[in-house]
Amino acid sequence: MNYDLAIIGGGAAGMAAAVFASENGVRTVVIEHNRQLGKKLAITGKGRCNVTNNSDNDNIMKNIPTGSRFLYSALAGFSAYDTMNFFEGLGVPLKTERGNRVFPVSDSAKDIVEALKKRMGTLGVKVITAHAKGVITEDGRVKGVRLGESEVYANSVIIATGGASYSGTGSDGSGYEIARALGHTIVEPKPMLVPICVKESCCCDMSGLSLKNITLSLIDTAKNKPVYREQGEMLFTHFGVSGPLVLSASAYVKKSTYRLEIDLKPALDDKKLDARLLRDFSEQHTKQISTVMRGLLPQAVVEPVLDKAGVAIDTKISEITKMQRAAIVNALKHFDLTVTGLRPIEEAIITDGGVSLKEIDPKTMGSKLIDGLYFAGEIIDCAAYTGGYNLQIAFSTAHSAAAAVSRLRFRLRL
């Protein structure tokens, strides 16, 4: 059977593109090498799926450091508000949380996946479980997709294979090779939104501990200047740190040296924090400092903070000097960690890099090299911070590509 459209990749962008195109009468087939569609989508947002950010396009673009200008037309054609209306129209109630992050009311990413699958089924989208080996072309135009020993013929192809992060979910970088074989330039893939490795061994001792309502700063030590600062949640691991704040901070790690600075008590300035310590010390003057500090901090953090301050954990409150108290305040407000690097790209939430924007039409996501070839989602050299922005890129680019294919189908059938 000949199709109007073949989509390589059954993730967020691929499934959305299939729905958008099929709703316009485009005969569509999705080729996915996993046995299940939306495998990566089902685990995003810790299994909750931050589908978009409830804000206007100006704010969305401010949170896309790679490719924001390129995405102007795509976002104009399908905004965050369109994404919210789309999923609620599919029967998935949504809610907006801190930072305008949008989640299913059910807190289940699987509801998003199932809604897309159900709509695809209703529209008659064909799904083939197979590895796409390449795109068939003739005289500079798409003819279909090669699947090893078989072929699928289609007038248009959308490559929506994702990047190279979370390879176990199917984003194994294979789409880059397919695009490269067609003459496209691939901007070197790099990890973005990835855990950070640090020098200090105390992180290993605190592994598994989550800190909420702290302020994290990333300091460029060469310039002694903060390049990122935000309040929220982070997590200690055996290699360093992770969690929402850390993943966002990782996007700013370039070719320089950095340190992370944690303000463990952002609601209190130095003066108020010192007054709090004085009150606690006065009320518990017969106890050891480690005991008193447990009223301020999770137990696992107490010793590392006192180590930073140069105060022994068994020091009695009555022996604490004014200088030591100032050192404790400083350690609480400026808990420093030395950045040694980022975790591997396989552990990144998204990939920064991909098919060069210079070779893609920003209005249609169409290839400037091959007629009938389009791209959608993470395979494109666009990347954003955490907060639902990357899935919005997936949905907006999928919509642009599907709309272009729909217009082409209409012309071909005239």
Q: How many CA atoms lie within 13 A of 211 on its CB side?
A: 29
Residue 408 has what pLDDT? 77
Integer CA distances (angstroms), 88 to 84, 85, 402, in order: 6, 5, 20
258-263 and 335-342 as β-strands: parallel, antiparallel, unpaired?
antiparallel
Closest CA to 95 of 137, 67, 53: 53
Residue 414 has what pLDDT? 46
- The residue-averaged pLDDT of 151-160 equals 97
pLDDT greater than 70 at residue 132: yes
> Residue ranges of the domains in the chain?
2-191+350-412, 195-342
Mean predicted lDDT score pLDDT of the chain:
94
Give the pLDDT confidence of 210-226 residue by residue, as tens digits.
Answer: 999 999 999 999 999 99
- The residue-averaged pLDDT of 133-152 equals 96
Burial of 255 per CB tally in 10 Å (0-12, 13-18, 19+): exposed
Residue 357 has what pLDDT? 98
Which numeric CATH code is attached to 2-191+350-412? 3.50.50.60
Integer CA distances (angstroms), 385 to 99, 109, 349, in order: 12, 19, 10
Confirm if 394 and 16 have CB atoms less than 8 A apart: yes
In this structure, which long-range contacts are made by residues 241-248, counting pairs with CB atoms below 8 Å and at least 24 apart in sequence? 241/195, 241/196, 241/198, 241/203, 241/337, 242/195, 242/196, 243/210, 243/211, 244/386, 245/214, 245/216, 246/195, 246/196, 246/216, 247/193, 247/194, 247/195, 247/349, 247/386, 248/193, 248/385, 248/386
Give the pLDDT confidence of 53-106 residue by residue, as tens digits.
Answer: 999 999 999 999 999 999 999 999 999 999 999 999 999 999 999 899 999 999
pLDDT greater than 90 at residue 349: no
**How many helices (H) and strands (E) would you count in the chain?**
14, 18
**Distance between CA atoms of residues 378 and 383, nearest Å:** 7
> Which two three-digit tokens encode residue 183?
């003459």
- The residue-averaged pLDDT of 256-260 equals 95
> Which two three-digit tokens encode residue 27?
């005969």
> Which two three-digit tokens encode residue 56?
């206007």
Q: Tell me which of 403 and 190 has the higher pLDDT.
A: 403
Give the pLDDT confidence of 202-212 residue by residue, as tens digits.
Answer: 999 999 999 99
What is the full DSSP assignment across 337-354?
Answer: EEEEEE--GGG-SEEEEE
pLDDT greater than 80 at residue 377: yes
pLDDT greater than 90 at residue 1: no
Radius of gyration (Cα) for the chain, nearest Å? Answer: 25
**Distance between CA atoms of residues 18 and 29, nearest Å:** 8
Integer CA distances (angstroms), 233 to 68, 238, 248, 303, 315, in order: 26, 17, 11, 20, 31
**Distance between CA atoms of residues 295 and 96, nearest Å:** 33
Residue 387 carries which DSSP code? S
Give the pLDDT confidence of 23-44 residue by residue, as tens digits.
Answer: 999 999 999 999 999 999 999 9
Confirm if 6 and 156 have CB atoms less than 8 A apart: yes
Give the pLDDT confidence of 352-373 residue by residue, as tens digits.
Answer: 999 999 999 999 999 999 999 9
Q: How many CA atoms lie within 13 A of 225 on its CB side?
A: 5
SS (H, E, C) 244-266: HHHHHHHCCCCCCCEEEEEECCC
Distance of CA 263 to the CA centre of its chain: 24
Residue 43 carries which DSSP code? G
Residue 148 has what pLDDT? 85
Residue 168 has what pLDDT? 67
Neighbours of 310 (CB within 10 A): 11
Quote the pTM value: 0.87
Residue 170 has what pLDDT? 66
**Distance between CA atoms of residues 84 and 97, nearest Å:** 14
